[in-house]
Amino acid sequence: MIKLTKQVQLPEGLIGKGDYADGTIADINEGYTVTGELIDPIEVGKPVQLLRFERNGVKSLGHFYTSVVQSIEGDLIRTQNSVYKMEELEELGDEL
C-alpha cells in the first residue's frame, strides 16, 4: 500500500494537453493525496498506476495514474506534470 502526495505542479508540465494514455485531461492541486496498491512497479518512462482506495483521506475506489515518470529520487517521483512524495503504508485491512 502506498500514499502519493502531490508536492509541486511543474510549470513546464503538460496539463491540459491530453498527455495521459487515454487522452484524459486532469489537474490535481498541490497537496492532493491518493492511497492504493501499485498495479505495476514504478519505472521511469511509464506512468505510476494505482488501484485507488482513498483520495484526500476519503474512501474512493477507482484507478489513478500519473503522467509519465521522468525520474525517481529517494521518495520523490517526478512526472511530466508533477512531483509526488511516496510513502509506504501498512495495509488498511477492514478500514476500507
32: burial class by Cβ within 10 Å (0-12, 13-18, 19+)?
middle
Q: Who contacts 59 (Cβ-Cβ below 8 Å, separation ≥6)?
A: 53, 96
Identify the pLDDT of residue 93: 55
**Four-point Cα dihedral 47, 80, 5, 46, nearest 10:** 10
Identify the pLDDT of residue 18: 46
Question: For residue 93, what is the DSSP state?
Answer: G
Identify the pLDDT of residue 13: 72
Identify the pLDDT of residue 12: 75
Cell 483521506: give the residue: 57
pLDDT of 5-32, one tens digit each?
999 988 877 655 444 555 555 667 889 9
Identify the pLDDT of residue 15: 57
Identify the pLDDT of residue 17: 47
Residues of the chain with pLDDT under 50: 17-19
